């Protein structure tokens, strides 16, 4: 990490909070005064707050403009020039929608210029107002074009500017969008500008002893909970006008040695200093039939807190109507996954020398899970105990590696196969201490805590003295159970079966050759694996070797989703539609988003297969069922044969989601072993020092409300690797699938 010394020393001030007004980036984007571009290759989850060039030569022009200092210019070159801007409006209410903008063109020939505004709930565009110029030739100075229509509430408004012509140049400036005569920027806040303190802070200014007394530990735990609660529940803090990280740095030294009475007075004065909430509306009730997970308020009964403080907190919970937006947690409106994009990475922070940033990292993560994690109730450990145990550890960590290992252990407490820690975008599990370069040349699954060789993915590996079906008992003389126990603390996994996938260092060694003790057909063998005789640069994908499509018999087809594109499916279906059976192998991660395309051919009619819970931004800690997933369509020509779905511990996330969909097929059978048990879109929580904590951000459930997380997909038949394999080429699960079809 960067070890630049502190350039900004924070002074512990009074309890008053200096608020700064948050700027609105939408205005700059509509006037083209300060905009960013993305190219058409950019994924939807990166589109927020950027103009997205679909095609053409679009640039900002500082020489020609209608008003201000800049305009948007496009060189016409015979193509379909197109640029878009997405605005999340979150179903704001209104009756009329007004859209317009200034256009200028020069030396154009046979040119069509269109300014359109669409509304959308699904990113499938529906038409709103459009204005356009048809088949124009020549030049014209600035002129305002507009249209007004009835407003239909939606999730997004999409500005779409298109130009088709042979040649010339076109300019746009000062676009206007109004709902009921009010600028859209007054109704929706797109982003929160960084405050000066957030941009310039390189040092927390916190100076405290790293060894905590019992009272100091309890005080910091209480501070963590009050700070996190206010962060997510106080409506003024949600507006983004207070640097809440700086507030933590200021209050750590004030709280750490306070007695109970002083501590409570500090918290009460802190709440008072934030601002008056009496002007906010009373909270509206939420129907419990939609609620899947409720907030945890047990911490309020802490003996540390006086009745007066508990009352103030209770009022903020139940008496104040919060809005559906918060600086510190939101939804990426395009990908619809949970987002912490406004959290500060503090890339120049030195966590080794600065204890304040270490405390912030723990407090930020603990509260994000407390209020924003859909599977909080599935965590094995008491989440409050986790805070109590890890606070002294993060305080005492005195090296970069120690800090990273503490954070990795912290992530492991989630029991979430998606959970991990990254540094500068690189997963920390690949540190050389945990992931040595010498890799055992085999794909191994963990069944009943036994590491069983399943397959070889590299032809050079097949020269190994290992055989399919071998049970690895020891690596370099150390028992597998011990390796799991020692290393599993640094890796998070939802099910024990996913351990070897997540703890791939189990199959690595600092030494070469690797000494293995294996059990083969009941006989114990010792093998020396010379890694230099194999392709060391080849990292095995966690999948079964196979082809995207093949026939395993005259009447049975097989598809392997790791090697199958959705564009392949129509052609494949013509070949398999009359077969007796179809085997779908998802012991892998799919190559493409094939779920809907594949299901359209397999299902006779639409079927509900999953429900999704999402965070209620206005009531953090509350997760409600907000979306249902349906697969298939009405199709008389659907596949009539038997469908066998193969799964195992390599089936994770999107693969499990596909298995959940295929479970609804009336003629399907899902066979194999327990899957990874991790489903839902992942989210990234920035941490100081340019780190990120990764975890699942929304909850996925079967239609009856049964959770898949930590359990794996529902199996129709559990099949484990048999004790005696038929040979190196045998795929026991594929053989079972074939027998079920015959």
Measured between its terminal Cα atoms, the distance across the chain in Å is 60
pLDDT at 251: 97
Long-range interactions of 192-198: CB distance < 8 A, separation 24+: 192/22, 192/240, 192/327, 192/342, 193/22, 193/23, 193/25, 194/344, 195/20, 195/243, 196/20, 197/8, 197/243, 197/246, 198/243, 198/245, 198/246, 198/344
Min mean pLDDT across 2-6, 30-34, 419-423 is at 2-6
- CB-based contacts of 570, cutoff 8 Å, min separation 6: none
* Mean pLDDT score, 451-463: 71
DSSP H helical ranges for 577-647:
595-602
CA angle, 506 then 511 then 514, to 5°: 65
Residues 159/91, Cβ–Cβ less than 8 Å: no
pLDDT digits (tens, 9 = 90+) for 374-408: 999 999 999 999 999 999 999 999 899 899 999 99
Element (H, E) at 223: helix 214-233
Torsion sign across C-alpha atoms 206, 212, 213, 214: positive
* CA–CA distance, 262 with 693 (Å, rounded to integer): 34
DSSP string, 685-740: EEETTTEEEEEE-SEEE-TTS-B-TTT-SPPSEE-PPPSS-S-TT--HHHHHHHHH
Closest of 346, 331, 352 to residue 697, by C-alpha:
331
* CA–CA distance, 438 with 733 (Å, rounded to integer): 29
Residue whose entry in the numeric block shows the structure tokens 């819970």: 613
Closest of 86, 85, 93, 90 to residue 152, by C-alpha:
93
* CA–CA distance, 702 with 611 (Å, rounded to integer): 6
Closest of 431, 537, 526, 533 to residue 476, by C-alpha:
526
> How far does CA 192 lie from the centroid of its chain?
20
Band (288; pLDDT cuts 50, 70, 90): low
Indicate whether 353 pLDDT > 50. Answer: yes
- Name the percent of the chain lying above pLDDT 90: 53
Residues 618/686, Cβ–Cβ less than 8 Å: no
* Mean pLDDT score, 209-215: 94
CA atoms within 13 A on the CB side of 412: 21
Q: Which token pair is 503?
A: 């703890």
pLDDT at 29: 79
Secondary structure, 3-state, 272-341 = HHHCCCCCCCCCCCCCHHHEEECCCCHHHHCCCCCHHHHHHHHHHHHCCCCCCCECCEEECCCCCCEECC
Indicate whether 350 pLDDT > 90. Answer: yes
Residues 59/44, Cβ–Cβ less than 8 Å: no
Instruction: Encode burial over 225-255: b for 16+ CB neighbours within 10 A, e otherwise.
Output: bbbbbbbbbbbbbbbbbbbbbbbbbbbbebb
pLDDT digits (tens, 9 = 90+) for 656-702: 999 999 999 999 999 999 999 999 999 999 999 999 999 999 999 99
Q: Which token pair is 94?
A: 């209104």
Return mean pLDDT, the chain. 84
Q: Which residues on adjacent β-strands are paired with residue 602?
A: none
* CA–CA distance, 628 with 287 (Å, rounded to integer): 18
Total-model pTM: 0.76
pLDDT at 440: 79
Band (544; pLDDT cuts 50, 70, 90): very low
Indicate whether 323 pLDDT > 90. Answer: no
* CA–CA distance, 210 with 258 (Å, rounded to integer): 17
What are the Cα distances from residue 131, in Å, to 149, 474, 580, 681? 12, 72, 56, 38
Q: Mapping DSSP to helix (H, G, I), strand (E, B) and coil, where does residue 44 land?
A: helix
Q: Is-cis flag, bond preceding 350, omega within 30?
A: no
What are the Cα distances from residue 498, in Å, to 389, 480, 572, 653, 660? 26, 15, 32, 12, 18
């Amino acid at each position: 990490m960067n070890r630049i010394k502190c350039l900004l020393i924070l002074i512990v001030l009074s309890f008053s909070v200096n608020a700064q007004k948050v700027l609105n980036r939408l205005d700059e984007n509509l006037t083209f005064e300060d905009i960013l571009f993305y190219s058409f290759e950019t994924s939807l989850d990166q589109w927020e707050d950027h103009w997205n060039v679909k095609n053409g030569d679009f640039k900002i022009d500082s020489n020609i403009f209608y008003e201000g200092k800049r305009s948007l210019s496009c060189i016409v070159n015979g193509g379909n020039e197109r640029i878009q801007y997405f605005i999340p409006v979150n179903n704001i209410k209104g009756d009329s929608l007004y859209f317009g903008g200034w256009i200028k063109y020069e030396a154009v020939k046979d040119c069509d210029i269109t300014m359109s505004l669409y509304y959308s709930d699904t990113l499938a565009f529906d038409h709103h107002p459009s204005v356009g110029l048809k088949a124009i030739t020549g030049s014209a100075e600035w002129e305002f074009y507009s249209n007004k229509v009835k407003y239909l509430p939606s999730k997004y408004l999409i500005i779409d500017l298109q130009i088709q012509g042979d040649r010339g140049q076109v300019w746009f400036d000062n676009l206007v969008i109004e709902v009921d005569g009010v600028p859209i920027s007054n109704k929706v806040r797109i982003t929160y500008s960084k405050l000066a303190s957030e941009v310039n802070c390189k040092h927390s200014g916190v100076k405290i002893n790293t060894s905590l007394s019992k009272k100091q530990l309890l005080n910091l735990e209480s501070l963590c909970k009050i700070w996190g609660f206010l962060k997510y529940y106080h409506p003024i803090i949600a507006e983004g006008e207070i640097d809440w990280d700086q507030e933590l740095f200021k209050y750590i030294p004030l709280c750490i040695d306070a007695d109970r009475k002083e501590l409570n007075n500090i918290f009460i004065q802190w709440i008072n200093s934030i601002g008056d909430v009496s002007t906010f509306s009373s909270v509206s009730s939420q129907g419990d039939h939609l609620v899947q997970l409720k907030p945890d308020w047990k911490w309020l009964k802490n003996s540390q807190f006086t009745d007066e403080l508990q009352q103030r907190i209770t009022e903020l919970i139940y008496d104040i109507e919060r809005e559906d937006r918060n600086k510190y947690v939101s939804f990426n409106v395009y990908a619809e996954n949970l987002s912490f994009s406004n959290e500060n990475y503090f890339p120049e922070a030195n966590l080794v020398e600065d204890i304040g940033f270490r405390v912030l990292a723990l407090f930020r993560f603990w509260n994000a899970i407390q209020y924003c994690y859909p599977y909080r109730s599935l965590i094995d450990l008491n989440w409050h105990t986790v805070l109590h145990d890890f606070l002294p550890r993060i305080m005492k960590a005195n090296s970069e590696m120690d800090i990273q290992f503490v954070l990795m252990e912290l992530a492991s407490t989630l029991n979430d196969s998606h959970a991990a820690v990254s540094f500068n975008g690189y997963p920390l599990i690949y540190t050389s201490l945990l992931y040595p370069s010498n890799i055992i040349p085999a794909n191994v699954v963990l069944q009943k805590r036994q590491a069983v060789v399943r397959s070889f993915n590299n032809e050079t590996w097949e020269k190994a003295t290992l055989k399919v079906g071998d049970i690895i008992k020891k690596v370099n003389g150390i028992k597998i159970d011990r390796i799991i126990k020692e290393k599993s603390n640094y890796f998070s996994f939802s099910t024990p079966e996913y351990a070897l996938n997540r703890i791939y260092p189990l199959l690595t060694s600092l030494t070469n050759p690797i000494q293995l003790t294996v059990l083969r057909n009941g006989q114990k063998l010792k093998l020396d694996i010379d890694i230099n005789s194999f392709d060391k640069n080849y990292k095995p994908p966690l999948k079964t070797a196979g082809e995207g499509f093949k026939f395993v018999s005259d009447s049975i087809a097989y598809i392997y989703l790791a090697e199958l594109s959705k564009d392949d499916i129509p052609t494949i279906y013509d070949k398999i539609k009359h077969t007796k059976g179809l085997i779908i192998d998802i012991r892998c991660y799919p190559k493409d988003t094939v779920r809907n395309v594949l299901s359209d051919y397999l299902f006779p009619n639409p079927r509900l297969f999953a429900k999704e819970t999402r965070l209620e931004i206005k009531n953090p800690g509350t997760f409600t069922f907000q979306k249902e997933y349906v697969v298939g369509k009405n199709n008389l020509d659907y596949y009539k044969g038997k469908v066998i779905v193969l799964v195992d511990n390599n089936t994770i996330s999107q693969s499990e989601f596909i298995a959940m969909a295929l479970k609804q097929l009336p003629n399907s059978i899902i066979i194999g072993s327990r899957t990874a048990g991790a489903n839902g879109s992942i989210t990234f929580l920035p941490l100081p020092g340019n780190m990120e904590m990764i975890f699942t951000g929304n909850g996925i459930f079967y239609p009856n409300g049964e959770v898949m997380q930590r359990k794996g997909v529902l199996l129709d038949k559990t099949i484990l690797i048999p004790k005696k394999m038929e040979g190196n080429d045998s795929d026991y699960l594929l053989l079972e699938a074939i027998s079920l079809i015959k």
